[in-house]
Amino acid sequence: MNTETAFQIGRDSGLTALDAMGKHFDGKHEEHTKDGIAGLLCTVFQCTYAMAPTKKDGDGLIALAKQFALEKSDQ
């Protein structure tokens, strides 16, 4: 496995989670969609910190992922 393959597996897993959430929020409970996304992000962050050797390493990984997301975002 290489970095790109591992990244794609993570991305696909995230999309699967968002798809599952969409089945609960699609067209209903829209005011709580942000709460669902916050729950997903919290879980991913907790996992990141649990698996990182140090908090600083976890912070760095989250910052890198945020940078990637912003670069790919239209905003």
Q: Residue 10 belongs to what domain range? A: 3-72
pLDDT per residue as tens digits for the range 41-66? 999 999 999 999 999 999 999 999 99
Please indicate, yes or no, whether the overall pTM of this predicted structure exceeds 0.85: no
Could you write out the DSSP letters of every residue in 46-69? Answer: HHHHHHSSSHHHHHHHHHHHHHHH
Reduced to 3 states (helix: H, G, I; strand: E, B; else coil), residue 73 is: coil
61 and 52 in contact (C-beta within 8 Å)?
A: yes
pLDDT-derived band of residue 25, with 50, 70 and 90 as boundaries? confident
What total of structural domains would you count in the chain?
1
- Rounded to whole angstroms, the Cα distance separating 30 from 27 reads 7
